[in-house]
Chains A and B, each alone.
Chain A
């Protein structure tokens, strides 16, 4: 149980385009989802926290207009990287937790390469 999927697993796009990454909880209702970013050989950095039906809370230094997060249902959150640039190339990981259980279940990650 407690499986989180991400789609796509990897994506290559041209600079200036937008990319949407999906995060789904497959067998539980995710009241809260988290989006992380991981640069090569570095740790995971929390970008934002989203609760179903409300606006995401962004960490300091993360541009909310650049990284659009939508958590429209209890099983799906999306991260859209708008007008992507090469410096946005990274590994994006989502996690999900359900109310009353303070354990985050992680997705497999999405590798983004912006050319």
Chain B
């Protein structure tokens, strides 16, 4: 069975503060990990995927197989980053419960 755990429901930070959104997974095979973002009143969209190893909107995420984690990080949060973030596993996406990021001015 595969499972994604996002332990926190809400993270509230001030603009300019660092952000780390936690994601842990459980999967016996070689995982593919994704982060999806849903801005207010918009549809879900892909933010980044681990195999591309790219930085999108200043966000990065590193797959740590030893810790089975794929935490999303950004050094300096912006107000426009406020959204719901979902971690997902594999091509048939198994989603975590999501976390709301709120960036205050």
Binding site for B on A (CB under 8 A): 4, 34, 42-46, 49, 93, 95, 102-109
Contacts and interface: CB of A to CB of B under 8 A. Distances in A.
Contacts of A4: 43
B80 to A, nearest CB: 20
Contacts, number: 35
A46 B94 contact: yes
A102 B32 CA distance: 11
20 contacts: A34-B93, A43-B95, A43-B96, A44-B95, A45-B95, A46-B92, A46-B93, A46-B94, A49-B92, A93-B43, A93-B44, A95-B44, A102-B32, A102-B91, A104-B93, A105-B45, A106-B45, A108-B42, A108-B43, A109-B43
A106 B94 contact: no
A43 B86 CA distance: 8
Classify the secondary structure of B's interface with A. loop
B1 to A, nearest CB: 10
Interface residues of B, number: 16
Nearest to A3: B43
A106 B97 contact: no
Contacts of A102: 32, 91
Contacts of A42: 97
Nearest to B6: A43
Interface string B82-105: 000010000111111110000000
Contact of B98 (A43, A93, A103, A104): A43
B46 interface: yes
B46 to A, nearest CB: 6
